[in-house]
Structures are given as C-alpha cells and as structure tokens.
Amino acid sequence: MRNSINYFTIFNPNNLTMIFWRRLKQLRIQYGLTQQEMSERLYMAQSTYSRYENDVSKVTTGIVIRIAKEFKVTTDWLLNTEETDS
C-alpha cells in the first residue's frame, strides 16, 4: 500500500497539474525525444511516462526530483512556482 504522503497533490487555483504535464512535454520536445526515449532516460515504462504526460496519474516526489536532475531544471520550474523558463 502506498503512503499518500509520498505524493504531490498538485492542485491550487493556478492549476499546477496542468502546468506540470505541459512542462514535462515541453522538456521532451525540447530534447527531441519520443515518449519511449524519455521514459528510458527516467528509468520507467513508457506507459507510466505517458500517464504522467497526459495527466492521468499523480507524480511522486521522487519522479519530480529525478526529472529535475536529469534535465537540469528546478522542481520549482516543473511545478510552476518559478517563473523563468528552462
């Protein structure tokens, strides 16, 4: 059973869920990667990655951190709490 404390509940008036998946897709396109290539870089199944990018599944804090490290962006940028683009 998963502990819900390990998950971001990305919801506020600014609709951060929508921002996260848009930023995730933006990174993938910026690096010229397919969803399969992106998922391989993040050590996850393509179907799992697709669910994140399509806003079907909640993302864990560990995944947010992994994405930030892999693509040298901040977690603030991914979650839209930092205004500057990568």
Domain-wise residue ranges, the chain: 4-78
Structure tokens at 42: 């993040």
Rounded to whole angstroms, the Cα distance separating 27 from 25 reads 5
pLDDT (tens digit, 9 = 90+) per residue, 36-83? Answer: 999 999 999 999 999 999 988 888 899 999 999 999 999 999 987 655
| Confidence at 16, pLDDT banded by 50, 70, 90 | low
Closest CA to 61 of 12, 3, 18, 1: 3
Global pTM?
0.73
Binning the chain into helix, strand and coil, the percentages to the nearest 5 are 55, 0, 40
CATH 1.10.260.40 correct for 4-78:
yes
Q: What CA–CA distance (Å, rounded) separates 75 from 81?
A: 8
